[in-house]
Chain A
Amino acid sequence: MYNPIKIRVENLTFSYHKTPIFENVSLDFEAQTITAITGPSGRGKSTFLSILNRLWESQPVARMQGKVWIYLDGQWIDIYSRTLSKPDLRRKVGMVFQTPNPLPMSIYKNMAFPLKLTGMADKALVEAKITRALEQAFLWDEVKDRLNDSALGLSGGQQQRLCIARALVSQPEILLLDEPTSSLDTGAASVIEDLLVSLKERCTLIVVSHYLEQVSRIADTALKLKAREFRQV
């Protein structure tokens, strides 16, 4: 049985400094699954993620052709349409980076930051959303008594879970994770893996990972990026 398609990439060609990274790539990603992308370093795995939320556009030397469609709110949306706002897209397509990047502020303010960007001022609602996101990220019990402490004082694993929780607070439909466990020890990585599997119910996840064991543990589909093309493994 197949899940409905959530993301469709059509004839994607991408170059950086006139060096081709992808050539004529077409791919579908199923909803509420975990797709892992593996492959050698420097081949464009992270770049592929940034194409799905348009974060690559801050690089002036990159060029893209092709279409990326995402099924959002009951309709297919061309994410490179001029009418689509990038901030709105990125709230629906969250991203977590390889290195945890909590902002240098308290845990609470980190969590409230995405809501502040949307102008949400109802304190009770903000607190409820923060609590829920921290629970979803298995972090609530560890930080509930020190929400006003600096987020930079958390351990690496906690910081990464905070970043995942911060992405979840906007209730994204897709979550992109760029090697989320590569800088963590096995214990912290295992917690993150369990977390990702639990998030599958409410999100479509695309995870870049170097670890084949991890891919086999958590992924429903695995793609290998090789020679500017994706191949299913």
Chain B
Amino acid sequence: MKIRILGGCLRMFSWGAVLLLTGSVLVLLGYLLVKGVPSLGRELIFGQVDVLDAVLLRKRVFDGLFPAIAGTLSVVLLSVGLAIPVGVCAGIYMSEFATVLQQRVFGLMFDILAGIPSIVIGLFGFSGAIFIHKYVSNDFRPCMAVSVVALAFLVLPYITRTTQASLQGLSIQIRQAALALGATRVQNIFYVLLPQSFSGILSGIILAIGRCAEDTAVIMLTGVVATAGIPGSLLGSYEALPFYIYYISSQYTDSAELMSGYGAAIILLGVCAILFLLAFIIKRQLAGPAGPEPGRFYV
């Protein structure tokens, strides 16, 4: 009887938790859409400039979100592009080559890195930029390159840990299949283990994309500004959507400006959705041939 009551309570609580989560997402999206959709339009993104002129960089957009969208996309793609090879290689090392002691020590380090607040990583990026400015080149200042490196550090633990977990999650049958056929350890990793764990690794990359796209604290200290135009160089300042949202919500002078902040939030969600969709398409394209899971029998 007691167990039945406990089971019922657990089921109700679990159901309530799922409902709360789903409801929160729907309320958040609904609120954003109600507030932001009226401000969405060509003008919000391109201002008074013709779309073609803006896209072909013939005219600079001063009063639209186009430079911030371009800045966000650039920073996200460059950061994740920098973090993927390092993170995946570190994950491979942790899973395939590290001793148990190394796994514990390095794992703790990665977990600490994952737990560092983004503002602290931004501060390190800023300090690095000051150091280079002082000792290497007077022309150097916080810029997109600093943001990219700082954001890459921010997301490295996600990619490393998901790569490690995906590789370690593979069954012993899959691990030994290629080795027993005469594969070297490296051949086994590249021909079998990595393709098999690709789906899990991509989940980490998707997580990293989201983290890079939304983070404001890091970029605020390392190179983002309110007005910079389309990013022309890694050593220049740039605009970004999360910073625009933060800036507008704290500095707005009228309700129309605030509404444009909501519009920017919807666009940021849209940019993330497009990047997630791309990652999902890649995942589908590179996935192995369809078929039942290995190890189940259909005699």
- A residues neighboring B (CB under 8 Å): 53, 55, 58, 60, 86-88, 90-91, 94-95, 97, 99-106, 113-114, 116-118, 149-153, 155-157, 159, 166-167, 170, 183-185, 187-188
- The answer to whether A101 and B173 have CB atoms under 8 Å apart is yes
20 residue pairs bridging A and B, Cβ less than 8 Å apart:
A53-B180, A55-B179, A58-B176, A60-B100, A87-B182, A91-B181, A95-B180, A99-B295, A100-B297, A101-B295, A104-B289, A114-B182, A116-B191, A117-B187, A150-B288, A150-B291, A155-B297, A155-B298, A156-B297, A184-B297
- The answer to whether B173 and A104 have CB atoms under 8 Å apart is no
- The answer to whether A153 and B299 have CB atoms under 8 Å apart is no
Q: Which residue of A lies closest to B179 (CB)?
A: A55
**Range of interface residues on chain B?**
20 to 34
- Grouping DSSP codes into helix (H, G, I), strand (E, B) and loop, the B interface class, with mixed when no group exceeds half, is loop
- The answer to whether B180 and A152 have CB atoms under 8 Å apart is no
- The answer to whether B299 and A106 have CB atoms under 8 Å apart is no
- The answer to whether A90 and B299 have CB atoms under 8 Å apart is no
Q: Which residue of B lies closest to A88 (CB)?
A: B182
Bound-complex Cα distance A183 to B299 (A): 10
Residues of B near A88 (CB, < 8 A) are 182
Is B14 engaged at the interface, CB distance under 8 Å to the other chain?
no
**Which of A58, A87, A103, A156 interacts with B177 by CB under 8 Å?**
A103
The total number of A-B Cβ pairs within 8 Å is 100
Apart from A102-B294, A104-B294, A113-B191, what are 16 other A-B pairs with CB-CB below 8 Å? A53-B180, A58-B179, A60-B99, A87-B183, A90-B179, A90-B182, A95-B180, A99-B173, A100-B294, A100-B295, A103-B178, A118-B182, A149-B289, A155-B297, A184-B299, A185-B299
B282: min CB distance to chain A, Å:
17
Residues of B near A157 (CB, < 8 A) are 299
- The answer to whether A105 and B288 have CB atoms under 8 Å apart is yes
- The answer to whether B177 and A101 have CB atoms under 8 Å apart is yes
